[in-house]
Amino acid sequence: MTKLSFGAHPYLLGFDQLERLVERTAKSGSDSYPPYNIEQNGPDAFRITLAVAGFAEDDLAITMEDRALVIRGRQADDLGERIFLHRGIAARAFQRSFVLADGVEVAGAGLENGLLHVDLKRVMPDPVVQSIPIRRR
């Protein structure tokens, strides 16, 4: 049985990277920590909100890696002599990735009341009309 490739359709030239993007997204896993929301704040604006209670700004990192927004959190090791009778607050490290479409950019990020907000905006490029000269061979 052969696998039908989305990018192999004759009318979809150059879309093979879209197929790789779908495969990468499917492999990203289903870890539910930390929980998050995605909101649409307008026709071309989005907000990703992650619940990161207990994490300081210095414990969080937001990067763009090959069209993927990657948010990482790692709390500094507590070297104090704290003795827990019960430890129910998660303090584990995390990494959460969101694949962004072409034209979607990060507008900013902020930490407020234990919630990390990452604002995104869609930037529509100006349409380009290009004339292609025909050469004689």
In the chain, the domains with their CATH numbers are 1-30 (no CATH), 32-122 (2.60.40.790)
Contacts of 11 (CB under 8 A, 6+ apart): none
- Tens-digit pLDDT profile for residues 63-91: 999 888 999 999 877 667 778 899 887 67
Round to whole Å and give the CA distance between 34 and 73: 10
pLDDT in tens, 28-65: 555 678 999 999 999 999 999 999 988 999 999 999 99
Q: Give bridge partners of residue 62 from the DSSP assignment.
A: 71
Would strands 94-99 and 68-73 be described as parallel, antiparallel, or unpaired? Answer: antiparallel
Nearest of 45, 54, 88, 89 to residue 74 by alpha carbon? 54
Report pTM: 0.71
Share of the chain above pLDDT 90, in %: 48
